[in-house]
Structure 1
Amino acid sequence: MTLKIEPVGKVVGGHQEIGEIYWGGIDSIIRLDPGYPVEVIQGLDEFSHLVVTWHFSQASPSDVVLGTREPRDDLRWSSAGTGTFTHRDHRRPNQLAVSFPRLLKVDGLDLHVTDLDAIDGTPVYDLGPYFTITGPQGDVREPHWPAEMLRDYWALWTV
């Protein structure tokens, strides 16, 4: 089955380039389609965070890697040779991503956010509020390499 979806909006401002190292502390706007009535976001301003599904729109289908590779192609983690769905980057079949930015304010159909790790012009395919109750339950387990690899990911936020 094929799913055809259209963007509900796009990212405006914020990060300008692919491959930026630090993603924290940068504000941007998720500008929803102007054809939507403002009621589509009624009540959203009561939430601190969003769940945003977006597309790596500047990636090429030739970037997709089906198989194993080192995280970020960095040999420091060569023992972590991991499969396509163990990564959270553009090298996946549908080149979709999910982010959890902080919602700063709502202005009409503009959602002002910070810590959205997408670049200016990125199409947004879906969004909603983050519900703590539907987040991970129980202990969260992961190998050592994500924390090492991403220790500076939100660096501007933590400084």
Structure 2
Amino acid sequence: MNLTEIAKVKSKYKEPIGPDKMKKTESIIEVKEEFEDGLYGIEEHEYLQVLFYFHKSEGYDLISKRRIGGEKGLFASRSPRRASGIGITTVELLKREGNKLYVYGLDAIDGTPVVDIKPYASFMDEASISLQKNNPRYKIEKMIRYQNIDELLLKAGEFHGHYCPFLALGVLAAADALKRMQKADAGMEKLLAVVETNSCFSDGIQVVSGATFANNALIYRDLGKTAVTFVSREGGNLRYYLKNDKFLEKDYTEAKELFEKVVARREGSRAEEKKLKELWKKIAFEIIEEDIAKYFKVERDIEIEVPDYAPIFEDKYCQECGEKIMAVKAVEKENQDYCKKCAQAEYIQLDGSGLTVKKFD
């Protein structure tokens, strides 16, 4: 069997280091002149699969120790010491300049021979679709297991709508807690997240932990603290409290001032709003690189009241509008059931101010 070298990698890493660090840098794949025409149309693709040769790797073991503990066979691991010497990774294509491809996410050192390049196609290459049908949180649980915090933040950004420091803090806390507790939940209230604020922090908690209002695993306590307690119904809990609450003022003055103008006072221009989002993103991805102890005080097994499993309520119908309501939310007037709106009764609303009591006029 013959392999043809079609390109070489140019990277700042001359020797192998942890793949997690290498995949967070940009590299160049310099294609040989005789293969340059084969790059025609490659700019149409956002991601590429790169096959390369581990030219500095010697020998292999059929069974070896894993970085995260335990042992696995060669073909059940990501070890660079392969029987064939072939490595494969998916990268983001940043741009093409002639025979040079600028990519992000390539875990190959400088001088690595490349033997093939092809577009990544999710409908053909995504192996986790069937796994995700069985477990909707398959990908997120995998990110937690391997502590791929940057990927978790990307997921949280999809849900939250933008990146910001407190979203990143929520992601950081939840990823750390679930790793320590070694718990995963399928939305069945076995793992609870008790949040003490309704800020961006709580969205990071929801995405990573899987605890939401609708699956009754996210408990909101209107205390106004950047804090969360993860509780396992099987026993044990962890509370995370943001101790370093002045980090924006101390470390990110420009972003803090822009936030006050754009968000707090609603006086910023579109250009300033764009600048704030750029700074927020930069800060968010810096935060997740830090050790948890820099930002949080972590307490184990605190005293906390654990709510019962959510009951299933009977339904009733409003006598005025005819709409169905939970029986416990119905208002009884003259032996008739009404919804709170038709009864002009008080109700509780969760909004940007926290929990407030409202009343229909």
Q: Identify the TM-score tier after normalising by the shorter chain.
A: 0.7 to 0.9
- Cα distance change of structure 1 residues 105 and 147 upon mapping to structure 2, 3 Å threshold: same
Q: Which aligned pairs between 1:34-113 and structure 2 lie closer than 5 A?
A: 34-36=33-35, 38-61=36-59, 64-66=60-62, 68-72=63-67, 77-78=69-70, 81-113=71-103
* 1:6 counterpart = 2:1: no
8 Å contact kept, 1:12–1:29: yes
Larger-gyration structure (1/2): 2
More helix by share: 2
- Cα distance change of structure 1 residues 90 and 40 upon mapping to structure 2, 3 Å threshold: same
Matched with 2:177 is none
CA–CA separation in structure 2 for the residues paired with 1:152 and 1:118? 21
Matched with 1:29 is 28
Computed over aligned residues only, the root mean square deviation of the Cα atoms, in angstroms, reads 2.8
Alpha-carbon displacement from aligned partner over 1:15-57 (angstroms, at most 9, x marks no partner): 3321245123311110111122x33111110111100001111
Where 1:89 maps in the other structure, the secondary structure is: coil
Q: TM-score, normalised by structure 2?
A: 0.37
**Higher relative contact order by CA 8 Å / sep ≥ 6: 1 or 2?**
1
**Counterpart among 112, 128, 151 of residue 122 in structure 1:** 112
Where 2:8 maps in the other structure, the secondary structure is: strand
8 Å contact kept, 1:13–1:28: yes
- Cα distance change of structure 1 residues 17 and 153 upon mapping to structure 2, 3 Å threshold: farther
- Cα distance change of structure 1 residues 24 and 5 upon mapping to structure 2, 3 Å threshold: closer
Q: TM-score, normalised by structure 1?
A: 0.78
Question: Quick one: which amino acid aligns to residue 65 of structure 2?
Answer: E
- Cα distance change of structure 1 residues 152 and 69 upon mapping to structure 2, 3 Å threshold: farther
Count of residue pairs brought into register by the alignment: 147
Stretches of structure 1 lacking an aligned partner (at least 5 in a row): none
Alpha-carbon displacement from aligned partner over 1:52-101 (angstroms, at most 9, x marks no partner): 0011111112xx002x23213x6xx22xx211101112222012111111
* 1:138 counterpart = 2:130: yes
CA–CA separation in structure 2 for the residues paired with 1:39 and 1:113? 19
8 Å contact kept, 1:89–1:95: no
Question: Quick one: which amino acid aligns to residue 25 of structure 2?
Answer: I
- Cα distance change of structure 1 residues 65 and 96 upon mapping to structure 2, 3 Å threshold: same
Stretches of structure 2 lacking an aligned partner (at least 5 in a row): 133-137, 152-284, 287-361
Alpha-carbon displacement from aligned partner over 1:101-133 (angstroms, at most 9, x marks no partner): 100011111111011011110000101110111
Aligned-pair CA distance for 1:11: 0.2
8 Å contact kept, 1:15–1:26: no
